[in-house]
């Protein structure tokens, strides 16, 4: 059941308020504001180095990033007081832009351990049944169950496995960091179908992407453009189409003009 504000609108699952963050002393986020409500899909777009992936990493609690100011609230709780494990157990999931290989650890073993870490002990027979069904949905051969996690996997296989993890773990909030990068059209459609399945199950999604093409399959409720570590522009799905045809220069020009008016 979603909590509601006194206006009847569902309370945010995620609130990012004036967030500033840095890595190795270099400021990356310079006052990010973002509100995600239950079941919403937010696409984050922008040039390389604009802070898109940093936002996902900071929300998840990556230790390399330092929060210099602002707040992050998750389901009304102060997220910055929670460690990475607490955030994961509370229902936050991060799909990495570059999933790492874990030689020696089988996929089935890894996934079952992840479920246990979330406090969900699934009987072996039921787990195999769930895993086989998820493999079939994402076009993953059953033989993957015994392969080592991401070891020797193609880019598309790695991204499918990320989405498989999300579907099995059933998070409340999924941060998808350039899940579409490096995918051919068939893999993109398969990954997008998995994302849509999670959305249909009530997962809120923050989708970081460079390109509009995945948004042809995963329809966002809101599109935000990052520029210099902050949200420079927000809109609906049509904004992604504009960015595809016009690039980012006009967003930058609009932001400069707005600053001039404010001054």
Residue 7 domain-assigned (yes or no) = no
Residue 9 in domain: no
Domain holding 99, by residue range, is: 14-262
Q: Which CATH number fits the domain that encloses residue 103?
A: 3.40.50.300
> Would residue 44 be called left, alpha or beta, if left means φ above 0 and alpha means ψ between -120 and 50 degrees?
beta
Q: Does residue 51 come out as left (phi exceeding 0), alpha (psi in the -120 to 50 range) or beta? A: left
Q: Which residues contact 245 (CB under 8 A, 6 or more apart)?
A: none
Rg of the chain on CA atoms, in Å: 19
Domain count across the chain? 1
- Put simply, whether the predicted model's pTM sits higher than 0.85 gets the answer yes
Give residue 63's Cα distance to chain centre.
18
Paired strand residues for 29: 21
Q: What is the pLDDT along the chain (263 residues), one digit of tens a residue?
A: 455 555 567 899 999 999 999 999 999 999 999 999 999 999 999 988 899 999 999 999 999 999 999 999 999 999 999 999 999 999 999 998 888 889 999 999 999 998 988 888 888 899 999 899 888 888 888 888 999 999 999 888 899 999 999 999 999 999 999 998 888 899 899 999 999 999 999 999 999 998 889 999 999 999 999 999 999 999 999 999 998 888 888 888 777 666 555 55
User: Would you say residue 60 lies in a domain?
Assistant: yes
Residue 1 domain-assigned (yes or no): no
Within-domain flag for 130: yes
- How far apart CA 76 and CA 38 sit, in angstroms, is 12
Q: How many CB atoms lie under 10 A from the CB of residue 156?
A: 17
Kindly state the tokens that stand for 263: 């001054």
């Amino acid at each position: 059941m979603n909590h509601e504000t006194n206006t009847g609108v569902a309370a945010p699952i995620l609130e990012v308020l004036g967030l500033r963050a840095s890595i190795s002393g270099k400021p990356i986020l310079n006052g990010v504001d973002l509100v995600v409500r239950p079941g919403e899909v937010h696409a984050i777009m922008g040039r390389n180095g604009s802070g898109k992936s940093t936002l996902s990493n900071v929300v998840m609690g990556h230790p390399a990033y330092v929060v210099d100011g602002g707040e992050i609230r998750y389901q009304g709780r102060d997220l910055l007081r929670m460690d990475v494990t607490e955030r994961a157990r509370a229902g936050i999931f991060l799909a990495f832009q570059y999933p790492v290989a874990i030689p020696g650890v089988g996929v089935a073993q890894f996934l079952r351990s992840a479920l246990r870490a979330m406090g969900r002990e699934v009987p072996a027979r039921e787990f195999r049944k769930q895993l086989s069904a998820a493999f079939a949905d994402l076009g993953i051969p059953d033989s993957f169950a015994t392969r080592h996690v991401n070891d020797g996997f193609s880019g598309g296989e790695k991204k499918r496995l990320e989405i498989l993890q999300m579907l099995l773990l059933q998070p409340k909030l999924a941060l998808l960091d350039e899940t579409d990068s490096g995918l051919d059209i068939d893999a993109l459609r398969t990954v997008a179908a998995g994302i849509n399945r999670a959305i249909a199950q009530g997962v809120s999604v923050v989708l970081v992407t460079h390109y509009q093409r995945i948004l042809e399959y995963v329809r966002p409720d809101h599109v935000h453009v990052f520029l210099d570590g902050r949200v420079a522009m927000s809109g609906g799905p049509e904004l992604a189409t504009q960015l595809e045809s016009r690039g980012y220069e006009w967003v930058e020009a609009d932001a400069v003009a707005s600053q001039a008016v404010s001054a």
